[in-house]
Structure 1
Amino acid sequence: MAYRHLFREASCVRCPDSRETVNHLLFKCCFARLVWAISPIPAYPEGEWTDSLYANLYWVLNLEVEIPKLGKIGNLVPWLLWRLWKSRNELMFKGKEYDAPEVLRRAMEDFEEWSTRRELEGKASGPQVERNLSVQWKAPPYQWVKCNTDATWQLENPRCGIGWILRNESGGVLWMGARALPRTKNVLEAELEALRWAVLTMSRFNYKRIIFESDAQALVNLLNSDDFWPTLQPALEDIQQLLHHFEEVKFEFTPRGGNKVADRIARESISFSNYDPKLFSIVPQWLRSTLIG
């Protein structure tokens, strides 16, 4: 800020004995160091951030190359940098001060919202959509059952809908679940709630070999990886704890066409007048045409 002649002093707002530079603000400041320390981002190899902004940025922006096992969590870095910068401005210009866990939480929320939007935008259009819709549901192997899950989420609607359907190796419907919920923060959370409810119900029904299938690629990737998403972690841990009820379990992705029945259930459930869960062992009239088609 001193370089723009906005202030006479160039001291850091949090550590007055240090000169405020971009490198200090993002990496060397005591507050920035604390945020990085509690984040899932690995520390600089030497254990201390350097005096070179370029060296520090090179490290955090190339984590996928330096540490391939880190996975997608490396994409958190831009949002963490942005929140560090924004928290400094909030403190300086508005007098608002956020602690380190709050800054990290907000960066995580930014990251998760961005990831969800990428997932939605990544759903192909045109010919690719037609190919996805033409995919048919496939029955599970012998002595297995398959549970398809889905969610309906609309920004303008105060509620969302979740649903699942369980079928056997011959395609016969065993059970279905439909439920309305208060709108979650994003569509990925709604998809996760649909899956959590399905896993909980299947564990109580004592099925042993089961495939959970969804058309939400981000959700399936999350279940089949070690990625850490703090705001989703409680639901993920619930699912993990329930898995010991099964002898074998798989989480698989299917294009939209292979999940159209679960999609229809979710879209119907958003219109329910209350949030009570509904279970069906007989196919309701409103679903029959989708199931036959």
Structure 2
Amino acid sequence: MQANKDAQEWMNNQAMVDSRAGVSSARGTYRNRRNEWRRPDTGWIKCNVDGSFTNSNIPSRAGWVIRDSRGVYQGAGQGIGQVVRNPLESELQAIIMAMQNCWSHGYKKIIIEGDCQKAIHLLNRIGLCFHSYNWIREALWWKQKFESVEFQWINREGNRVADKLAKSDILNHNTFCFHHYVPNTITMLLHNDYVISN
């Protein structure tokens, strides 16, 4: 029964997005429907983020990577969050962790890009999900701390770097790690994104 409701909610949201796609939105929030990662505009930072959910007994994991308008790596993070109930909450928690990290580095204009379409829709105020209300509210509270934040969806293929970080172990069993230098596990994925985005 719940699966049917979720499916219907997704179809309703998708229909709303499709109807809006014909109308120009602010900087084309839904324009990037391709599989390839794209560089942000000059003056912006793009933070690709992903959450990793195993089950509701194990803390959720997050991974994110920050790149500038030239496609140059600015850092990456991994974190272990709280125990959450489902994959959507895992994605929202990961987005919040990534936003907090971007804010701590002083970035003003950021694009948060993830492959969970439902999370991106909810943060763009398309549709409702009362079960995740507190996560959405916290993400929108963090949004206010920046000059400008955009939430964009990208196909899973274009979000492989963040996905790899979310699923990789954190060094020394820490709960958080910021990588100032490129971790070996994502070197080739970053290189591929850089080449494709040229």
Q: Same fold per TM (> 0.5)?
A: yes
Question: Which residue of structure 1 aligns with residue 188 of structure 2?
Answer: 289
Q: Which has the higher strand share?
A: 2
Distance 1:285 1:215 in 2: 23
| Distance apart, 1:278 and its partner CA | 0.9
Distance 1:175 1:235 in 2: 25
Paired amino acid for 1:291: L
Distance 1:200 1:267 in 2: 20
1:114 equivalenced with 2:13 (yes/no)? no
Alignment gaps of 5+ in structure 2: 15-33, 193-198
Distance 2:145 2:117 in 1: 25
Q: Which has the higher helix share?
A: 1
1:141 aligned counterpart, secondary structure: coil
Structure 1 length-normalised TM:
0.52
1:178 equivalenced with 2:70 (yes/no)? no
User: Which of 128, 153, 170 is the aligned partner of 1:253?
Assistant: 153
Question: Which residue of structure 1 aligns with residue 69 of structure 2?
Answer: 169
| Distance apart, 1:233 and its partner CA | 1.8
| Distance apart, 1:194 and its partner CA | 0.4
Question: Which residue of structure 2 aligns with residue 276 of structure 1?
Answer: 175
Question: Which residue of structure 2 aligns with residue 213 of structure 1?
Answer: 113
2:61 aligned counterpart, secondary structure: strand
Paired amino acid for 2:41: P
1:230 equivalenced with 2:122 (yes/no)? no
Distance 1:156 1:235 in 2: 16
1:265 aligned counterpart, secondary structure: helix
Query: Over residues 196-222 of structure 1, what are the superposed CA-to-partner deviations in whole Å (9 max), with x where a residue is unaligned?
Result: 111122222221111110111001110
1:204 equivalenced with 2:104 (yes/no)? yes
Distance 1:190 1:273 in 2: 23
1:146 aligned counterpart, secondary structure: strand
Higher-Rg structure is 1
| Residues paired across the two proteins, number | 172
Of structures 1 and 2, the one scoring higher in RCO (CA 8 A, sep 6+) is 2
| Distance apart, 1:177 and its partner CA | 0.9
* Percent identity for Structure 1 against Structure 2: 26
Paired amino acid for 1:286: T
C-alpha contact 1:173 1:281 (8 A) present in aligned 2: no
C-alpha contact 1:180 1:274 (8 A) present in aligned 2: no
C-alpha contact 2:60 2:82 (8 A) present in aligned 1: yes
Structure 2 length-normalised TM:
0.74
Question: Which residue of structure 1 aligns with residue 87 of structure 2?
Answer: 187
Distance 2:54 2:63 in 1: 15
Q: Cα RMSD between the aligned structures?
A: 3.1
